[in-house]
């Protein structure tokens, strides 16, 4: 068997596993992708701020931004049903167990922007990121939704890169995959 055939078979097996075991129900009893499963029927409804994550599925080439199950998953993850979704006076978005509670990550915000076709939403997120840099002109790891002057990491190259990629995406500059 060729490497291509082996990879194709593995891809099919992984997809079958995701469809069979990697989905769960949200609070509205809608089918969504689970963040993780334990093999015993339990699943986590959450997302993390790093990539890869569930919000990034279209960016990673797993599905389209119009995929119905993805959109239901996304809507769930960008809500209080996700224990790492925080909303405050200055921002709302996905944070992480790696940073304090109520801190959202610019990486997650940028990915939220790159996985929508809504130009106004992309612009809203870009404006939000610029407005919450605490005057440093750099992206941080995470910042407090109620006080962006409180943040982790003075600068975070990954978050800076994701901001740049969202700017490029806004202007329809994309690398073909």
CA distances from 155 to 94, 125, 148 (A): 19, 19, 14
How is residue 96 written in tokens?
């992480």
Quick: pLDDT tens for 127-136: 999 999 999 9
Quick: pLDDT tens for 82-140: 999 999 999 999 999 999 999 999 999 999 999 999 999 999 999 999 999 999 999 99
CA distances from 30 to 35, 54, 130, 157 (A): 15, 16, 35, 37
| pLDDT for residue 173 is more than 80 | yes
**142: β partners:** 152
């Amino acid at each position: 068997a060729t490497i291509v055939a082996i990879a194709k078979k593995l891809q099919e097996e992984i997809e079958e596993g995701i469809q069979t075991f990697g989905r769960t129900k949200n609070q509205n009893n809608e089918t969504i992708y689970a963040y993780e499963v334990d093999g015993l029927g339990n699943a986590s409804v959450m997302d993390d701020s790093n990539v890869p994550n569930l919000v990034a599925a279209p960016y990673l080439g797993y599905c389209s931004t119009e995929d119905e199950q993805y959109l239901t998953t996304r809507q769930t993850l960008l809500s209080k049903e996700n224990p790492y979704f925080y909303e405050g006076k200055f921002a709302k978005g996905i944070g992480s167990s790696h940073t304090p509670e109520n801190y959202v990550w610019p990486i997650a915000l940028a990915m939220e922007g790159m996985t929508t076709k809504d130009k106004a939403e992309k612009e809203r997120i870009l404006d939000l990121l610029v407005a919450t840099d605490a005057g440093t002109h750099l992206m941080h790891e995470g910042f407090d939704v109620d006080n962006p002057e409180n943040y982790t990491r003075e600068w975070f190259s990954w978050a800076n890169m994701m901001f740049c990629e969202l700017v490029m995406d806004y202007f329809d500059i994309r690398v073909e995959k």
